[in-house]
């Protein structure tokens, strides 16, 4: 039906209802009255004109009535009531009398017929149009405002793939009640039972305000079933209108492992970055590229993307130029091991802040190539730091790792030595040098999650080194925000550490990812392969002698580590070519774990 035909139909229907209401009310009060009296004609004309005018004013001809609800009922009430008041005024001024009883009966008949005509399709649709056979029975967790909106939209959309059949909610007052005709069948503890008894195929977690911990707890209950679990978008995305309430998405492993985000001191960071020149090494990497994105939010004048891989640098350059056209984006293809080039670049741009993300981070590969770890992580850091000092850079922030604490690997040992270089540079330079330690970063290159996803795509099995191995995790954006906050808080010489929360078992991570991918543990087995060279069963963020219990910023701690004579590091670098891989590894671990005579205290 076209819009014009639909409008004509509704206008005609309302006209008939108006006349019928008037005539029926007069007939009820006086069955013998002539229906064509002046009183009835004037009243009918006044009610008809006022009704159509007000119906247009309140847009009741423009509503989709199969989805009618309280808003539509309120509009009908206003139109009918106001039109009767207008009719009463006509009677008063033209007929010199107001027929109150007649108008009251007319009002009741009028509102009953108008409302009935509009809600009849909604009633028919809700009563007789049942779930199609191809719709999947769905459980909604959360019978609050968001859950109710989800259920309403699914019920109203007959083409929807999902059909809500039950709610779960921890509110005891809602138990065994119905919301939109859908029963609340229990609490989170009852999810497994409700899914089995109602043949649920999909679960929607409809509580946008959940914390990461609460979401994880709910998901663990959902994972006991074979139903596929989806989640609503973030609350802030719903509020600003980025997505609608029915924009469900699959639960991602980042939702379960990521912690509540650290709030930034944007004013302090803005003073360091806005209108300034910023240089990022390793800018094409997972962390480096995200640091660039976060930096650009503070509108620097120039950002220099420095990296060894041309493709990754080109990709982040295109992204930033498109998203931030007013920021001057410069690129430098360079290796931090090239001392002369690093000094040249620092002199050319004289940046205000340097974020040093370039490093070799793969533990097993660095075990087999310790000399390359030294060249990139130690010598490269030394070159970049000394170049920054020579160029009078204001602050230098190096990205470190939890593997630098009591290191058992070459990678961890070289990152600890890089921290030593940074701490020494802070003593001898006017530049503020600091380091930031992270746990494992979700989704970064070389992290375990991309490996697990690839293994699942290839049909398995998923390989885990040891059933008891645990790690700290954080998201790439969170790690990058911490870098910016550390730069803003830097006084010089600090090692900043984020409160990483509770460590996560790698095997539990694998199980969650298998479940999120739609497989059972039987379909996608987990195989334990044994610990790799250099790996630790668990990681530490601060050594026992480094802990400063007070937070200097919400969720951010600061540690002071023992210092060693920097000449120890220099002699290792000078003798690098003379040491075998085994000797080099042993020497690295001795220095990083302070097993050297030159230890000078803290």
Place of tokens 């963020």: 541
Q: Does 241 map to a domain?
A: yes
Nearest to 25 by CA among 77, 82, 100, 85: 100
User: Domain with 233 in it: what CATH number?
Assistant: 3.40.50.720
Q: Does position 236 have pLDDT exceeding 50, yes or no? A: no
Kindly state whether residues 63 and 36 are assigned to the same domain.
Answer: yes
Q: Is residue 261 part of a domain?
A: no
Per the CB < 8 A criterion, the answer to whether 440 and 446 are in contact is: no
Q: How far is CA 11 from CA 18, 48, 258, in A?
A: 10, 10, 56
Q: For residues 307-335, give the mean pLDDT.
A: 94
pLDDT attached to residue 373: 92
Spatial CB neighbours of 566, under 8 Å, sequence gap ≥ 6: 420, 421, 424
| Cβ proximity of 21 and 109 under 8 Å | yes
Q: Does 27 fall in a domain?
A: yes
Which position among 403, 415, 511, 555 bears the catalytic label?
A: 403
The last residue of one of the domains, among 251, 279, 300, is: 251
How much is the pLDDT for 124?
Answer: 61
pLDDT at 434: 92
Task: Name the nearest CA neighbour of 416 among 581, 582, 568.
Answer: 568
Whether residue 323 is found in the same domain as residue 428: yes
For residues 273-288, give the mean pLDDT: 93
Q: Give pLDDT tens digits for 442-480.
A: 666 666 777 887 888 888 788 888 888 887 777 777 778
Q: Residue 322 contacts by C-beta under 8 Å, 6 or more apart in sequence?
A: none
Last residue of a domain, one of 128, 147, 173: 128
pLDDT recorded at residue 545: 56
Mean pLDDT for the chain? Answer: 80
Question: Among 199, 196, 569, which Cα is nearest to 417's?
Answer: 569
d(CA 149, CA 144): 9
Contact 179, 149 (CB under 8 A): no
Q: Which domain holds residue 380?
A: 266-442+473-500+542-592
Residue where a domain terminates, one of 100, 128, 156:
128
Q: Is residue 356 part of a domain?
A: yes
**CA-CA distances (angstroms) from residue 132 to 155, 158, 159?**
12, 8, 9
State the distance between the two ends of the chain, measured CA to CA, in whole angstroms.
83
Report the range of poorest mean pLDDT among 43-52, 64-73, 403-412: 64-73
On whether both 364 and 427 belong to a single domain, the answer is yes
pLDDT higher than threshold 90 for residue 43: no
Residues 270 and 310 in one domain: yes
Q: Does the structure show a pLDDT above 60 at 239? A: no
Block residue for tokens 């007649």: 102
Query: Rounded to whole angstroms, how far apart are CA atoms 20 and 35?
Result: 11
Q: Are residues 231 and 275 in the same domain?
A: no
**Do residues 406 and 553 share a domain?**
yes
pLDDT tens figures, 165-193: 889 998 888 888 888 778 888 899 999 99
Instruction: Judge whether 171 lies within some domain.
Output: yes
User: Is 464 a member of any domain?
Assistant: no
pLDDT band of 243, cuts 50, 70, 90: very low
Is residue 245's pLDDT more than 50? no
Q: How many CA atoms lie within 13 A of 61 on its CB side?
A: 19
- Are residues 97 and 79 part of one domain? yes
450 vs 315, which has greater pLDDT? 315
Structure tokens at 101: 């009883």
Domain assignment of residue 597, yes or no:
no
The H or E element that residue 249 is part of is strand 249-250
**How confident is the model over 509-556, as pLDDT tens digits?**
888 778 777 777 777 888 888 887 767 676 665 555 555 656 677 667
Number of structural domains, the chain? 3
According to the model, what pLDDT value does residue 481 have? 81
Residue 428: the pLDDT is: 92
In-domain check, residue 525:
no
Give the H/E segment covering residue 390.
Answer: helix 380-390
- Write down the residue that tokens 């410069």 correspond to: 330
DSSP labels, 360-382: ---HHHHHH-HHHHIIIIIIHHH
Whether 330 and 405 share a structural domain: yes
Same-domain pairing of 233 and 300 = no
Give yes or no: residues 414 and 286 share one domain. Answer: yes
Which H helix or E strand runs over 3? helix 3-29
432 is catalytic: no
- Do residues 289 and 318 share a domain? yes
Claim to verify: residue 485 and residue 387 sit in the same structural domain: yes
| Integer Cα distance of 513 and 463 in angstroms | 12
Determine the Cα–Cα distance for residues 38 and 44; give it in Å rounded to an integer.
10
* Residue 214 phi, psi (nearest 5): -65, -40
Total residues found in the chain within this entry: 602
């Amino acid at each position: 039906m076209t819009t014009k035909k639909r409008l004509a139909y509704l206008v005609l229907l309302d006209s008939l209802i108006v006349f019928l209401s008037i005539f029926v009310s007069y007939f009820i009060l006086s069955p013998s009255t002539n229906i064509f009296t002046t009183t009835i004609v004037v009243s009918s004309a006044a009610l008809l004109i006022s009704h159509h005018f007000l119906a247009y004013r309140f847009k009741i001809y423009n509503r989709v009535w199969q989805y009618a609800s309280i808003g539509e009922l309120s509009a009908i009430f206003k139109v009918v009531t106001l039109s009767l008041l207008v009719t009463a005024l006509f009677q008063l001024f033209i007929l010199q009398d107001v027929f109150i009883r007649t108008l009251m009966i007319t009002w009741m008949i009028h509102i009953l017929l108008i409302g009935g005509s509009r809600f009849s399709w909604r009633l028919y649709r809700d009563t007789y149009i049942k779930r199609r056979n191809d719709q999947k029975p769905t459980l909604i967790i959360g019978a609050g405002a968001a859950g109710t909106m989800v259920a309403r939209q699914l019920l109203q959309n007959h083409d929807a793939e999902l059909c809500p059949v039950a709610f779960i909610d921890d509110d005891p007052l809602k138990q065994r009640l119905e919301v939109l005709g859908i029963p609340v069948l229990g609490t989170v503890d009852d999810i497994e039972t409700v899914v089995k008894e109602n043949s649920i195929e999909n679960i929607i977690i409809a509580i946008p305000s959940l914390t990461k911990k609460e979401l994880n707890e709910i998901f663990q209950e959902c994972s006991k079933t074979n139903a596929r679990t989806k989640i609503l978008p973030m609350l802030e995305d719903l509020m600003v209108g980025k997505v609608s309430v029915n924009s469900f998405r699959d639960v991602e492993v980042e939702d379960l492992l990521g912690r509540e985000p650290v709030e930034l001191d944007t004013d302090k960071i803005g003073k360091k970055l806005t209108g300034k020149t910023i240089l990022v090494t390793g800018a094409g990497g997972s962390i480096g590229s995200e640091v660039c994105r976060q930096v650009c939010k503070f509108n620097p004048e120039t950002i220099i993307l420095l990296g060894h891989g041309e493709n990754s640098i080109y990709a982040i350059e295109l992204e930033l130029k498109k998203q931030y056209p007013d920021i001057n984006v410069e690129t430098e293809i360079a290796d931090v091991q090239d001392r002369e080039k690093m000094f040249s670049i620092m002199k050319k741009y004289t940046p205000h802040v340097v974020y040093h993300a370039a490093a070799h981070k793969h533990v097993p590969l660095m075990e087999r190539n310790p000399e390359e770890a030294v060249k990139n992580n130690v010598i490269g850091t030394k070159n970049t730091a000394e170049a920054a000092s020579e160029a009078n850079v204001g602050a230098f922030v190096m990205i470190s790792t939890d593997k630098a604490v009591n290191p058992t690997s070459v990678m961890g040992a070289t990152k600890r030595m890089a921290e030593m270089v940074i701490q020494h540079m802070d003593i001898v330079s006017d530049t503020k040098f600091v380091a930031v330690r992270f746990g494992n970063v979700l989704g970064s290159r070389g992290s375990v999650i991309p490996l697990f996803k690839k293994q699942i795509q290839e049909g398995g099995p998923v390989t885990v080194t040891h059933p008891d191995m645990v790690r700290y995790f954080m998201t790439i954006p969170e790690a990058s925000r911490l870098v910016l906050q550390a730069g803003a808080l830097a006084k010089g010489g600090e090692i900043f550490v984020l409160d990483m929360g509770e460590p996560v078992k790698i095997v539990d991570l694998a199980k969650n990812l298998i479940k999120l991918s739609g497989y059972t543990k039987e379909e996608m087995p987990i195989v334990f392969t044994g610990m790799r060279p250099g790996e630790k069963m668990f990681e530490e963020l601060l050594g026992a002698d480094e802990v400063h219990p007070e937070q200097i910023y919400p969720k951010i701690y600061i540690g002071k580590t023992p210092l060693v004579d920097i000449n120890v590091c220099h002699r290792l670098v000078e003798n690098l070519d003379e040491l075998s891989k085994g000797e080099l590894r042993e020497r690295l671990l001795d220095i990083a774990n302070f097993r050297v005579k030159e230890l000078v205290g803290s």
